[in-house]
Amino acid sequence: MNPAAPQSSSTTSAAAIVPRIVPRSEHGISRKNISSGALRVLYRLHEAGYKAFLVGGAVRDLLLGGHPKDFDVATDATPEQTRALFRNCRLIGRRFRLAHVVFGREIVEVATFRGIGEDGNADRQVVDGRILRDNVYGSIEEDAIRRDFTVNALYYDIADFSVRDYVGGLEDLHSHAMRLIGDPEQRYREDPVRMLRAVRLAAKLGFTIAPEAAEPIQRLAPLLADVAPARLFDESLKLFLAGHGLASLRGLHNHDLLGQIFPATAAALAGPNRATFGRMLGYTFESTDERVRSDKTVTPAFLFAAMLWEPVRATAQKLIDEGTEPAVAWPVAADRVMHEQASRVAIPRRFGLGMEEIWALQPRFEQRQKKRVNRLLSHPRFRAAFDFLVLRANEEAELVELVDWWTEAQEAGGAELSRMLTQPAPAGDDEGIERAPARKRPRRRRRKAPGAGGGAPVDAVE
Ligand code: ATP
Ligand code: MG
């Protein structure tokens, strides 16, 4: 390998950076693992005389032996010059102008090297230290140091298949460290979402956040309050629904970030039911991660419904204790909790409705009169609501009997179901779920959420 290590990552003068260049023979990135679309974009730009690099998460993941799903390209061609080279290209973004080259279902994102642009008349808008718009173009060195983490600033050069490192990313990749480029506090102030990215990428890669990058997080976490809720929704999906949700949840919890994006969840994890709720989240996230890893579908509605379950349950209970009818208390509680959550993370309406339905169906499992049973069995959300009940039964022993009953009801044919329905309902039916008396553990083994191998509690990892 080239012994010339790049200068310290706190370098602010891009011109002074000496890159470390690793030739093709000394790294493991093979073009076989790069998508055909990304290769076409890289070659076309190169043939037209522009510089063309694969950059960011794809290079990082390829060097770690992973299989990236999306590929980002960096070039010295402007977005307009890029568009002129491809028929299937559109320019997007106002804050950050980018070219998207589309090949069927694949989209290759092409970004022009971003510059430092301190000459005063550049198209960059910074308010209170926060970068709101950045369309200043520059050199590859400048592009490297405005990226977030060193391991995200590695470039794969299509001209000679070498890897270029301007900020010490290779070393950090080797030692599994998420290290910010430059001054951590300044970089978090420019864009507070970087705090979430630190936790997310550490969870995804099994890396550690470098101490100087971890230190300011707790202090600066409140800056996330000003981030657009829609952006936080996108980031939440990447945190929780990409196969490493449990590790992300633990990371957010440990760095005091959870309260910034899911305040009610964080409060419940510190409240009187924290042990039970922590274990329930452990089961949920474990089974979700397992499903993602085996390419099964997952819905944010189910996961978010679990994250907000204890807050909804506690709010409903409080209303009931104050004399509100359960039938009124539950929807009111759901509405309140959703409303508060929406001020942080913008959950799209279709998922919000799904969550409310999953919650609303829970008390209906208690009602086993013939008509109601048939109606519930044919409800479009039955499956999700039943899975949710299974999840709760891991912690609420009195629900195990219900789960068993509904499992049989689903498997039973018409005649068998009729027989089940004419038998007297077990004691405790039709009481609100919160009032069901705690029964002795039933004979049957408690059911685990699908794929939950024990369900590690969230708060057992502090
Ligand atoms: P993954 O795709 O695995 O989630 P990624 O690192 O590729 O991770 P993207 O959001 O796809 O994340 O971003 C691509 C690249 O753009 C990053 O690797 C990084 O170099 C740069 N980048 C993304 N977000 C930021 C940010 N908030 N600040 C600075 N650079 C960023
Ligand atoms: Mg990416």
Asked if the structure places residue 256 within a domain, the reply is no
> What's the domain range around 15?
11-178
Does 196 fall in a domain? no
Q: State which of 197, 201, 234, 292 you would mutate to test the pocket of ligand 1, scoring each by most atoms of that ligand within 8 A of its C-beta.
A: 197
> Which of 144, 178, 212 is where one domain is finished?
178
Residues 172 and 310 in one domain: no
Domain final position from 124, 157, 178: 178
| Total tally of structural domains belonging to the chain | 2
185 in a domain, yes or no? no
Residue 41 lies inside a defined structural domain of this protein: yes
User: Atom 10 in ligand 1: which residue has the minimum CA distance?
Assistant: 57
pLDDT at 16: 78
CA of 106 to the centre of ligand 1 (A): 18
With helix as H, strand as E and coil as C, how does the chain read?
CCCCCCCCCCCCCHHHCCCEEECHHHCCCCHHHCCHHHHHHHHHHHHCCCCEEEECHHHHHHHCCCCCCCCEEEECCCHHHHHHHCCCEEEECCCCCEEEEEECCEEEEEEECECCCCCCCCCEEEECCEEEEECCECCHHHHHHCCCEHHHCEEEECCCCCEEECCCHHHHHHCCEECECCCHHHHHHHCCHHHHHHHHHHHHHCCEECHHHHCCHHHHHHHHHHCCHHHHHHHHHHHHCCCCHHHHHHHHHHCCCHHHHCHHHHHHCCCCCHHHHHHHHHHHHHHHHHHHHCCCCCCHHHHHHHHCHHHHHHHHHHHHHCCCCHHHHHHHHHHHHHHHHHCCCCCCHHHHHHHHHHHHHHHHHHCCCHHHHHHHHCCCCHHHHHHHHHHHHCCCHHHHHHHHHHHHHHHCCHHHHHHHHHCCCCCCCCCCCCCCCCCCCCCCCCCCCCCCCCCCCHHHHC
56 CA from centroid of ligand 2 (Å): 7
Q: Domain containing 79 — which CATH number?
A: 3.30.460.10
Q: How far is the CA of 98 from the centre of ligand 1 (A)?
A: 14
Choose one of 147, 178, 209: the last residue of a domain: 178
Tell me: pLDDT of 402 over 90.
Answer: yes
Q: Check if the beta carbon of residue 18 is closer than 8 Å to that of residue 6.
A: yes
Tens digits of per-residue pLDDT, 2-11? Answer: 444 454 444 4
Q: With a cut of 80, say whether residue 319 has pLDDT above it.
A: yes
Q: Whose CA is closest to atom 3 on ligand 1? A: 57
Examine residue 134 and state whether it is found in any structural domain, yes or no.
yes
In a domain, residue 360? The reply is yes
Nearest-atom number in ligand 1 for the CA of 111 is 16
φ, ψ of residue 447 in degrees (nearest 5): -80, 140
288 falls within a domain: no
- Residues marked active site are found at 70, 72, 148
Note the pLDDT tens digit of each residue in 96-145. 889 999 999 999 999 999 987 655 556 767 777 777 766 778 899 999 99
Number of the ligand 1 atom closest to the C-alpha atom of 58: 7
Q: pTM above the 0.85 mark?
A: yes
The number of the ligand 1 atom at minimal distance from the alpha carbon of 153 is 20
| Ligand number nearest to the C-alpha of 197 | 1
Instruction: Please state the rounded mean pLDDT for residues 58-82.
Output: 95
For atom 25 of ligand 1, which residue has the closest CA? 148
For residue range 240-277, list pLDDT tens digits in order.
999 999 999 999 999 999 999 999 999 999 999 999 99
Which pair of tokens denotes residue 407? Answer: 């499992």
Average pLDDT on 290-311 reads: 95
Give residue ranges with CB within 6 A of ligand 1: 56-57, 72, 147-148, 152-153, 191, 193-194, 238
Q: Which residues surround ligand 2, an ion (CB under 5 A)?
A: 57, 70
Nearest C-alpha neighbor of 189 from the set 253, 265, 132 = 132
* Residue 57 CA to ligand 2 centre (angstroms): 5
Burial 400-431 (b: 16+ CB within 10 A, else e): bbbbebbeebeeeeeeebeeebeeeeeebeee
The answer to whether residues 172 and 318 belong to one domain is no
Average pLDDT score over residue span 404-409: 90
Q: CA-to-CA distance for 303 and 71, rounded, in angstroms?
A: 28
* Structural domain includes residue 411: yes
User: Ligand nearest 242 Cα, by number?
Assistant: 1
Give the ligand with the smallest distance to the CA of 148.
1
Give me ligand 1 centre to Cα 56, in Å. Answer: 6
**Residue 290 binned pLDDT confidence (cut-offs 50, 70, 90):** very high
What pLDDT, in 10s, does the model give residues 143-177?
Answer: 999 999 999 999 999 999 999 999 999 999 999 99
For 91, phi then psi, to 5°, come to -95, 135
CATH number at 343 reads 1.10.3090.10
The ligand placed nearest to the CA atom of residue 145 is 1
Which residue, 113, 139, 112, is CA-closest to 13?
139
**Mutation choice for ligand 1 from 148, 166, 227, CB with most ligand atoms inside 8 A:** 148
Q: How far is the CA of 58 from the centre of ligand 1 (A)?
A: 10
